[in-house]
């Protein structure tokens, strides 16, 4: 056999071996993991397919790096140019690593591909031991058995310490340990513009708000912008859901099997947003292409009177020289606005659950959270941390707690929000009437949520 043929045979063999090895490892994982109880006995896998793939996580993640155990942590980006998340979390977890002889591999997952990273990572056996999830995504993973509840690990001391454990309880179990509860969407206002426009009292009701905006508009300044051109459906946390809650409505029914935003309140909220643009002319044509960042930039430049924005932006507005005030929420029937309640979750495939839970507890401890909040200004989540956020918001998370709503953890909600957002965008474009937008969205939602019955 000449050299060419030998080379050809060699490469063919290598390729075939690679392909077979790829198939083989999956088969092995599936065979080994299906239906088995995890090594630490917390959960029996409900789903054989997932058990197979998560077993692969165990085999890869559980490998010892020398004498050190390796844990994988996936977190979202909250860092700025001054303090990058990976560095901050690395510093926070250093004592934990030394104390427990652990190497924590930290990966910061960009928001832009957050959902697919978890989806592909966990389903392919390359997921983390501990992840960070927001409410819209958590239920799909619970239903698939990909997340293990913390109930067996929680002590009385934990229960007494954490403020918001209830926000991580889904289907009666503690599936999430809230780490970021805050970033409430409040109505910032520019004091100088309101004074110049002769708005003497800060508006409380929708009617007051429209009247104040009209005065600002008459003065030639921009009264109010909503980022209806933002690519993220999360924009509804500022642009629609607060008005829905203020009108006394809710997004889904109690058991998450049907849309509730198609009631009187939902329609009233949509009509209000529609009227701000088309009836009162308070929002310009450009809102249909504006992102949240662009709206914030307008507020920072001192051209915008009102801005629905997360409390975490208050610091930036101050640095831009804006003399701002805020109100928690406007009021129709009641007060209501969005607040984030994102949680750390324990991935079922983790081979080191005890250690992973220990890491979660360490991350949520007062000293760790103090360092985290120096980078990302959020209110404390437990009694063992002092308040470090802007003092202006301290009363918000105390006295106005009842006005703060989190998104319900409902399976399939991501698809429903996507659809609702597109329909509401069409409404703001003038392509649909409010009742059409709400009806179309509700029809889709009811068809999607019927799977939860």
CA distance 364 to 359: 9
Q: Which is nearer to other proteins, 101 or 120 (CB)?
A: 120
Number of Cβ within a 10 Å radius of residue 171: 10
Residues of this chain, 144-183, that bind other proteins according to CB under 8 A:
144, 146
Per rule CB under 8 A, is residue 11 in the interface with other proteins?
A: yes
Residues of this chain, 295-314, that bind other proteins according to CB under 8 A:
298
What are the DSSP E strand ranges found in 296-407? 304-310, 324-327, 337-338, 340-347, 404-405
Chain centre distance of CA 230: 16
Per rule CB under 8 A, is residue 407 in the interface with other proteins?
A: no
Which one of 43, 214, 257, 288 is in contact with other proteins (CB under 8 A)? 288
Number of Cβ within a 10 Å radius of residue 113: 11
Closest contact distance (angstroms) between CB of 431 and other proteins is 6
Q: Which is nearer to other proteins, 275 or 418 (CB)?
A: 418
Closest contact distance (angstroms) between CB of 129 and other proteins is 18
Q: Report whether 178 contacts 162 (CB < 8 A).
A: yes
Task: Tell me the chain's radius of gyration from C-alpha atoms.
Answer: 25
Closest contact distance (angstroms) between CB of 286 and other proteins is 4
Residues of this chain, 114-133, that bind other proteins according to CB under 8 A:
115-116, 119-120, 122-123
Three-state secondary structure call for residue 303: coil
Closest contact distance (angstroms) between CB of 418 and other proteins is 6
Residues of this chain, 20-49, that bind other proteins according to CB under 8 A:
47-49
Instruction: Give the residue among 36, 60, 39 at the shortest CA–CA distance from 47.
Output: 36
Instruction: Give the residue among 77, 62, 67, 73 at the shortest CA–CA distance from 32.
Output: 62
Per rule CB under 8 A, is residue 50 in the interface with other proteins?
A: yes
Which one of 93, 199, 210, 290 is in contact with other proteins (CB under 8 A)? 290
**Per-residue tokens: 212:** 């104040």
Which one of 423, 434, 445, 449 is in contact with other proteins (CB under 8 A)? 423
Q: Which is nearer to other proteins, 403 or 437 (CB)?
A: 437
Per CB under 8 A, the segment of 150-158, 315-323, 330-338, 409-417 that binds other proteins is 409-417
Q: Report whether 277 contacts 431 (CB < 8 A).
A: no
| Structure-token match 């905006």, residue found | 213
Judged by CB under 8 A, the number of residues near other proteins is 51
Instruction: Kindly give, in sequence order, each residue whose CB lies less than 8 Å from that of residue 288, ignoring residues fewer than 6 positions away.
Output: 228, 229, 425, 428, 429
Phi then psi dihedrals of residue 185, to 5 deg: -85, 110
Per rule CB under 8 A, is residue 397 in the interface with other proteins?
A: no
CA distance 51 to 55: 6
Q: Which is nearer to other proteins, 100 or 419 (CB)?
A: 419
Closest contact distance (angstroms) between CB of 413 and other proteins is 10
Residues in the chain: 453
Per CB under 8 A, the segment of 57-65, 209-217, 372-380, 427-435 that binds other proteins is 427-435
Instruction: Give the sign of the dihedral formed by CA 160, CA 161, CA 167, CA 171.
Output: negative
CA distance 136 to 233: 11
Closest contact distance (angstroms) between CB of 116 and other proteins is 4
Q: Which is nearer to other proteins, 65 or 113 (CB)?
A: 113
Which one of 59, 126, 365, 414 is in contact with other proteins (CB under 8 A)? 414
Per CB under 8 A, the segment of 6-14, 188-196, 241-249, 374-382 that binds other proteins is 6-14
In the DSSP assignment, the letter for residue 389 is S
Q: Report whether 162 contacts 385 (CB < 8 A).
A: no
Per rule CB under 8 A, is residue 428 in the interface with other proteins?
A: yes
Per CB under 8 A, the segment of 4-12, 148-156, 170-178, 361-369 that binds other proteins is 4-12
Per CB under 8 A, the segment of 199-207, 224-232, 328-336, 389-397 that binds other proteins is 224-232
CA distance 357 to 366: 16
Instruction: Give the residue among 248, 368, 378 at the shortest CA–CA distance from 313.
Output: 378
Residues that bind other proteins (CB under 8 A): 5, 8-9, 11-12, 15-16, 19, 47-50, 113, 115-116, 119-120, 122-123, 140-141, 143-144, 146, 228-232, 285-290, 294, 298, 412, 414-415, 418-419, 422-423, 425-426, 428-429, 431, 440, 444
């Amino acid at each position: 056999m000449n050299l060419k043929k030998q080379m050809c045979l060699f490469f063919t063999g290598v390729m075939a071996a690679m392909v077979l090895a790829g198939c083989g490892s999956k088969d092995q994982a599936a065979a080994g993991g299906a239906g088995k109880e995890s090594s630490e006995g917390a959960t029996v896998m409900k789903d054989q397919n997932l058990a197979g793939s998560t077993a692969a996580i165990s085999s890869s993640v559980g490998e010892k790096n020398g004498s050190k155990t390796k844990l994988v942590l996936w977190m979202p980006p909250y860092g700025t140019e001054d303090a990058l998340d990976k560095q901050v979390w690395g510093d926070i977890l250093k004592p934990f690593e030394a104390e427990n002889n652990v190497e924590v591999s930290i990966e910061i997952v960009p928001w832009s591909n957050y959902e697919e990273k978890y989806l592909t990572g966990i389903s392919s056996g390359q997921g983390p031991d501990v992840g960070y999830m927001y409410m819209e995504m958590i239920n799909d993973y619970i239903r698939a058995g990909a997340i293990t509840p913390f109930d067996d690990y929680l002590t009385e001391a934990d229960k007494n310490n954490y403020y918001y454990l209830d926000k991580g309880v889904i289907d009666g179990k503690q599936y999430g340990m809230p780490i970021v509860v805050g970033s409430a969407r409040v109505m910032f206002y520019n004091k100088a513009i309101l004074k110049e426009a002769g708005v003497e009292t800060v508006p409380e009701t929708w009617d007051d708000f429209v009247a104040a905006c009209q005065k600002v508009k008459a003065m030639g300044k921009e009264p109010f912008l909503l980022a209806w051109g933002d690519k993220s459906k999360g924009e509804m946390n500022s642009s629609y859901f607060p008005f829905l809650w203020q009108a006394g409505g809710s997004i889904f029914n109690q058991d998450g099997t049907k849309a509730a935003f198609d009631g009187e309140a939902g329609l009233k909220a949509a009509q209000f947003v529609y009227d701000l643009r088309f009836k009162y002319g308070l929002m310009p044509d450009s809102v249909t292409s504006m992102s949240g960042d662009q709206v914030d930039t307008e507020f920072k430049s001192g051209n915008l009177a009102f801005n629905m924005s997360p409390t975490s932006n208050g610091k930036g507005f101050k640095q831009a020289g804006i003399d701002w005030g805020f109100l928690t929420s406007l009021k129709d029937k009641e007060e209501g606005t969005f607040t984030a309640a994102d949680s750390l979750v324990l991935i079922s495939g983790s081979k080191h659950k005890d250690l992973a839970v220990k890491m979660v507890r360490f991350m949520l401890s007062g000293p760790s959270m103090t360092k985290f909040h120096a980078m990302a200004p959020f209110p404390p989540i437990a009694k063992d941390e002092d308040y470090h956020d802007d003092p202006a918001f301290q009363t918000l998370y105390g006295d106005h707690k009842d006005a703060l709503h989190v998104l319900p953890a409902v399976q399939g909600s991501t698809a429903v929000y996507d659809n609702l957002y597109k329909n509401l965008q069409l409404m703001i474009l003038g392509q649909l009437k409010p009742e059409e937008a709400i009806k179309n969205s509700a029809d889709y939602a009811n068809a999607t949520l019927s799977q939860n019955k």
